[in-house]
Amino acid sequence: MDLVQAFEARPSVEAELRAAAPHALVDVTRRILAERTGAQEVTLLLADYGLTVLQPVSHLPYTTDSLPAHDGPAGSAFLHQSPVVEVLHEPAGHRVHLPISVRGDRLGVLSVHLPPGAAAPDTVLQLQEVATALGHEVVAAGRDTDLYLQARRTRRLTLAAEMQWQLLPGLGCAREEYTIGAHLEPAYAIGGDNFDWTTSADHLILTVTDGMGQGIEASLLTSLTVGALRNARRAGTTLADQAALADQAVYSRYGGKAYASTLLLQFDLATGEVRAVDAGSPHLFRHRGGRTERIELDTQMPLGMFEESLYEEQTFQVEPGDRLIAVSTGVHGTRSAAGDLFGEQVLRQILGATRAVPAHETARAVVAGLVEHRGGGDLMSDAAVVALDWNGRGD
């Protein structure tokens, strides 16, 4: 019986993982792969919050040495989202690195050490299915255990950052019509910047929010704003009414002393029409046909600045092949040590240079360019970048 038949003759991997205790997913995966492929070592590596390293899930609060998230065999699998087979000599065999993502959100890599002759193409495909199943169970297990969240950390998060990361939907999302990649910095001390999205059969709604202030106060403000937007959205209101209801919620709590700048976008998945409400400072750019331009929207009042503000929707069109990039004030408003603004020219250069790479890497590259512009080190202000590649709906 070959390895593929061994997989098919036993209970499904999905069923065994679903039956596992939340903290025991790696152990169960290790047992499954040892039985079915002769795997000698199985390691789950999760991307840290800054997307700089891959952290092994092991005995917490300590983990073994991390690996680069964009270099080496494991980093290459994570970066390119395709399996990488590494030839080993001592001991002989192969180490197969398999990307783990859930609906476009890149989580990490599953590394499997196989004995000589076991890394046949069909086996690698089966291993990729295991990695995907494991990723879905890791996301589900996050409701019941802190293990996987702790394993992602190279250091302690601030309380504000803890709140913000729990509020986020993820760092990516993908389906036929679009791919989203997003990035936040400073990852371990983020306060007021946030992005959110939801999809249905016909629409995608995407928001980028920048709560004023820093630290815990900014995080509390943003949490209220995002919660109010979600509440209004789930009530089935229009985009303009979502902004208006969130505006009322923030004003009722802060009385105009604190407010949140928000960009709201609603995509019609069939036609590519985008309805937009620009309530403040996030900027939106479009890269089309080798040219990057800012999409000029009528800037309306930030949410919570005045009592009972009314908001109007605007529309624009996206076409297959377009890339949209939304950036918070911490990106387009940041200055270098010499006082130079990280302006549209620098941003356009980065967007043009990264057009051939995935949306996830474009978002990361913008933040990396911002850090370089500042002269290195942690950013003084929150920076949020969301890149969206529009494919359109096929016939």
pLDDT confidence band for 376 (50 / 70 / 90): low
Contact 303, 259 (CB under 8 A): yes
Is the pLDDT at 7 greater than 60? The verdict is no
Place of tokens 């939340």: 22
Q: What is the pLDDT of residue 265?
A: 98
Looking at every residue in the chain, the average pLDDT score rounds to 91
pTM for the structure as a whole: 0.91
Q: What is the pLDDT of residue 373?
A: 72
Q: For the beta carbon of residue 153, count every other beta carbon within 10 angstroms.
A: 18
Place of tokens 């009385």: 255
For residues 191 and 195, give the distance between their C-alpha atoms in angstroms, rounded to a whole number: 12
The residue that leads in pLDDT, 48 or 370, is 48
β strands within the chain, DSSP E: 41-47, 53-56, 67-68, 84-89, 92-102, 105-114, 172-175, 178-185, 193-199, 203-211, 260-268, 273-279, 283-288, 291-294, 314-317, 323-327, 383-390
What mean pLDDT do residues 191-210 have? Answer: 96
* DSSP code of residue 301: P
The residue that leads in pLDDT, 340 or 202, is 202
Q: What percent of the chain has pLDDT over 70?
A: 91
Q: What is the pLDDT of residue 1?
A: 54
Q: What is the pLDDT of residue 10?
A: 64
pLDDT, one tens digit per residue, over 272-301 is: 999 999 999 789 999 998 888 999 999 999
Q: Which two tokens stand for residue 325?
A: 């990039």
Buried b (16+ CB within 10 A) or exposed e, 286-309: bbeeeebeebebeebbbbbbeeeb
> 186: cis peptide before it, omega within 30°?
yes
Contact 249, 229 (CB under 8 A): no
Residues with Cβ within 8 Å of 27's Cβ and at least 6 positions away in sequence, in order, are 20
pLDDT, one tens digit per residue, over 37-73 is: 999 999 999 999 999 999 999 866 556 789 999 999 9
Q: What is the pLDDT of residue 61?
A: 58
What mean pLDDT do residues 125-146 have? Answer: 96
Q: What is the pLDDT of residue 366?
A: 87
Q: What Å distances lie between residue 119 and 88, 127, 151, 238, 276, CA to CA? A: 12, 10, 28, 52, 49
Look at residues 105, 223, 241, 247 and name the one whose alpha carbon lies nearest to residue 159: 223
Contact 54, 43 (CB under 8 A): no
Is the pLDDT at 4 greater than 80? The verdict is no
Residues with Cβ within 8 Å of 163's Cβ and at least 6 positions away in sequence, in order, are 216, 219, 220, 223
pLDDT, one tens digit per residue, over 325-349 is: 999 877 766 666 566 667 677 788 8
For residues 32 and 24, give the distance between their C-alpha atoms in angstroms, rounded to a whole number: 12
**Which CB contacts under 8 angstroms, 24+ apart, belong to 84-89?**
85/119, 85/124, 88/113
For residues 325 and 323, give the distance between their C-alpha atoms in angstroms, rounded to a whole number: 7
